[in-house]
Every structure is written in C-alpha cells, then in structure tokens.
Amino acid sequence: MDAPTIAYLDNAATTRCDPRAAAEVSRFLLEEYGNPSSVHPLGVAAARALREARETLARCLEAEPGGVVFTSGGTEADDLAVLGFARTLRRHGRHLVVGATEHPAVLEAAKALGEEGFETSVVPADRAGRIDPAAVASACRPDTVVVAVMMANNELGTLAPVSEIARAVRTRAPRAAFHVDAVQAFGKAPVSLRATGADSIALSSHKIHGPKGVGALVLAPGRRPAPLLHGGGQEGNLRSGTENLPGIAGFARAAALAVESLAAEVPRWRRLRERLERGLAAALPDRLVNGDPERSVPTILSVTFPGVPGEALLHHLEARGVLVSTGAACHSRRGGSHVLLACGMAEEAVRSTIRFSFGRFTSEADVDRAVAAVPALVAELRALSR
C-alpha cells in the first residue's frame, strides 16, 4: 500500500519518520559517519553531534545532559531502569511495585528479577486505565527499591498523575527509584523530569516520528542504575557500544520537533478526536468510548463496538485503506493485549475494541475515511456474527 492511499490511524504502534529526522539519519550515515570515540576530525565532529543530541534531549525533558543515556529503544530504557536500579539498590531491599498496565518491557523485567530474589507488587488500574496514587502508596514498603508507572496508557491514552505518585513514593519508600515509562506520553503531553519528580524516564524515538531502534533513559542527577551492557564504557559507562549516531541524531531532531509543535498539535488532535468520536456516535449510538476523557493524551481513541469481532473489523478497514489496531488479547500478535484486561474490561468487550491513534501526519480526511467506513462495516459484521 502506498503512503498516500492509506489512512494511518495506528500511530501508537509506530509512526512514519518525519522527513527532517530522516534527513539527519541519512546525514550521519552518509557524510558525518565518524565514531565519536575517534580523535580525528570526523570523530570529533561525531562527538560534538552526540553532545548536541544529548543537550537537545535534556532541554526537551527539563533534565541534565549528563543524565541522558541513549539506548536501543523504549524496551531497553525500561529494562535498564528496572533491572539496573533493582541491582544497585538491592542492599536496601528486594521489593518492586509496578502498574498492572505497564508495557511488557517493565513487567517482564520485574518477572526476571524474581530469579534474583525480588518480589513484585502489582497496582491495579480502574476501567478507565487510571492508577490511584493512594494504591501505589499502599503497595510501597520500606524495602521497596523500584516503583514503575507508565505516564500514558498505550491502549487508552489515560494519563497517570505521576507527580502525585512520585510524592507518595518518596514518603512511603524513600530509598526507591521511581521510574516513569513516558514512551506514549512524550510528544503528546508535556513531559518534564523536573516536574514529575521521577528518577528516570523512558522514551522511544519511533513513537514520535523518529527512526526505530533508538530511545533514551533520562536520569535525575546522581541516579545511576547498574549497566546491562559491558564494554567500551560509552554513555557514561551506562550503555557500552559504539553510539548509534544516525539514530540518535534523528531521535534528537524528532524530539525537538515534537516539543516545538506540541502547543499547536494538541488542539488539532483534540479536534480530530472529537470529529472521530462525533462521527462514530452519530451512526453508532451503542458504541462505547473507553478511557478517561478528563486526563488523557489527545492522540488515542479507544472504542468498543459491542457484538463486533474487532479483528474482522480491523481487516475490513485495512481492505479500505484504514489502518487501526485491536485491543484483542489473543489475536493481535503482540503488545498492548493485556492492558485492557488489566483494566478490568470483560474479554468479550476487549475482543470488540478498536484503537484509533493519531500522529503529526493524521489529517481530517483520514478521520473522515474511518468515519465513512466504520458504521457500514459494523452493521455488516454484526449481522454476520449474530
């Protein structure tokens, strides 16, 4: 399918790279291809570019440049925080607290720590995907060493009150590192290390129109998780390996663009979401919108169409050039699947749920295509499935 013929409404899965970020990637692959560790001019130029990328990220996140650790993506950033902090803080305790809707990068890392004698408490989310700071507080213990909560839920878009949670963690588990997975929030809502009071924040480039395979863990001053990779000591010895400068430069550019355009994009996305919501509501009064309308990123709309197999709807939409994703547990191949169940949604409803998600390149025309296609398909599939 060619780019212009599809209405891509699956930006929470990944995004199209912004041409300006792609140009950076290309420049550092073809022209400024030096190794930042080399001492000749090409290497020195690469080191300078790396420093600038780090400063850009630090500005975007209101953090110190020294706290920015570039990784291979959101997964590695989450792993580095959860595993790394648990290992450096283990002498203070072996207890972790994680949200029920966390990405597998966090949940599986916590599970793996079971082998090392760690115990994990899972904080439930409500139907709208909300995590209650009081519930986090009551899960915390004096021997809790890592607390991880995602800022924006990737299925529902619901935003967690992270600074409130940070305060709760500080009082209940003063030694714990508080990690925030902001992969889905960054670029769609203000994300600030200083304002959240977190110890670390995970980011991923491909969710913000940057290249895939690069991300960052942004650390508060003085915080150092144990590294996962051992080698040449790059990234302040927290992430050895020759730096992926093309990816990092593309990521930095994409991050700067995302932050610059945020103020203008948020109202545009709100209008798109309203347009979609209203269009669907007019034709399908029995559709249910999931999530928390008060506090969520404006780029995600999760809708349940009772009695409609979500996967069949997805493929029928794909045949009309509209690309979305399902919340279904067993059939969408990976990721996201457990999230709606963890929010207490019934399996039946999960199977009938579709997620529409927007990005920089989503237009009104894309939304209108979805609005035009969905109602007839819902009626058809409902009749067939009855």
Partner 1 sequence: MEKGTTGRGLECLVVRYAEVGLKGGNRRYFEGRLQRNLKDALASVGPARMGRTWGRLLVFPEGDPAPAMARLREVFGVASVSPAVETRKDLLEIEPVALRLVGEALSRRPGEDRVPFRVEAHRADKSFPMRSVEVNRRLGATLLAAFPRLKVDLERPSLTLGVEVREACAYVYADRVEGPGGLPVGVSGRVLSLISGGIDSPVAAWLAMKRGCRVLFLTFHSHPFIGEATKEKVKDLVRRLSRFQGPSLLFVAPFAAIQTEIRKRSPEAYRTVLYRRAMHRIGCRIARRHRCLALLTGDSIGQVASQTLENLRCAEEAADLPVLRPLLAFDKRETIALAERIGTFPISIRPAQDCCTLFQPDNPVIRGEVEACRSVEAEIDLDRLVEESLASCEVFRLAEGKPDRHHSPATILPSPPRPDPENPASRAAAPSDRPGSLEVGA
Q: Cβ 299 to ligand PLP, closest distance in Å?
A: 12
Shortest Å, Cβ 49 to ligand PLP: 22
Edge-to-edge order in the sheet of strand 95-99: 68-71, 215-219, 200-204, 177-181, 144-150, 95-99, 119-123
* φ and ψ of 161, to 5 deg: -75, 75
154 binds ligand PLP (CB under 6 A): yes
183 binds ligand PLP (CB under 6 A): yes
Contacts of 381 (CB under 8 A, 6+ apart): 308, 309, 312, 313, 316
Find which of partner 1, ligand PLP, none residue 335 binds, CB within 5 to 8 Å per kind.
Answer: ligand PLP
Catalytic pick among 17, 140, 330, 343: 330
Task: Give the binding range for ligand PLP (CB under 6 A) out of 85-93, 179-187, 347-355, 367-375.
Answer: 179-187
Which one of ligand PLP, partner 1, none interacts with residue 183, CB within 5 to 8 A by kind? ligand PLP
| Alpha-carbon gap, residue 115 to 351, rounded angstroms | 34
Q: How far is the CB of 56 from ligand PLP (least distance, A)?
A: 18
Tokens 């050039």, located at residue: 321
Report the alpha-carbon distance of residue 119 to residue 319 in Å, rounded: 46
Joined tokens for residue 332: 């969408």
Burial 31-49 (b: 16+ CB within 10 A, else e): ebebebeeeeeeeebbbeb
Query: Which three-class secondary structure state does DSSP give residue 218?
Result: strand
Looking at residues 61 to 100 of the shown chain, list those that interact with ligand PLP (rule: CB under 6 A).
Answer: 73-75, 78
Does 333 help bind partner 1 (rule: CB under 8 A)?
A: yes
Interface stretch with ligand PLP, choices 177-185, 248-256, 269-277, 325-333 (CB under 6 A): 177-185
Instruction: Give alpha helix (H) positions in the chain.
Output: 19-30, 41-61, 74-88, 104-113, 133-139, 162-172, 193-196, 245-283, 310-319, 337-342, 347-351, 364-385
In whole angstroms, the minimum distance from the beta carbon of 289 to ligand PLP comes to 20
Q: How far is CA 120 from CA 3, 99, 141, 349, 376, in A?
A: 44, 10, 11, 29, 46
State the Cα–Cα distance between residues 51 and 28, nearest whole angstrom.
Answer: 14
Number of residues that bind ligand PLP (CB under 6 A): 15
Least distance between ligand PLP and beta carbon 1 (Å)? 22
Retrieve residue 339's tokens: 């999230």
Tell me whether residue 60 is one of the annotated catalytic residues: no
**Is 40 among the residues that bind partner 1 (CB under 8 A)?**
no
Residue 384 as a binder of partner 1 (CB under 8 A): the answer is yes
Q: Which does 330 bind (CB under 5 to 8 A by kind): partner 1, ligand PLP, none?
A: partner 1
For residue 146, give the nearest of 166, 112, 175, 104 by alpha carbon: 175
Taking the least distance from each CB to ligand PLP, the nearer of 67 and 73 is 73
Site map 277..316 versus partner 1, x via CB under 8 A: --------------------------------x-xx-xxx
Please identify which residue in the block is written with the tokens 């909560």. 149
Of residues 11 and 46, the one with the C-beta less far from ligand PLP:
11
Part in contact with ligand PLP (CB under 6 A); list of ranges 28-36, 176-184, 223-231, 257-265 = 176-184
Q: Which residue is nearest to ligand PLP (CB)?
A: 74
Our measurement of the distance from residue 174's CA atom to the centroid of its chain's CA atoms, rounded to an integer in Å, reads 26
63-122 binders of partner 1 (CB under 8 A): none
Based on the shown chain and the rule CB under 6 A, indicate whether residue 338 belongs to the binding site for ligand PLP.
no
Output phi, psi for 359, to 5 deg. -145, -165
Binding residues vs partner 1 (CB under 8 A): 309, 311-312, 314-316, 318-319, 330-331, 333, 384-385
Active site members: 330
Binding residues vs ligand PLP (CB under 6 A): 73-75, 78, 103, 105, 150, 154, 181, 183-184, 204, 206, 215, 335
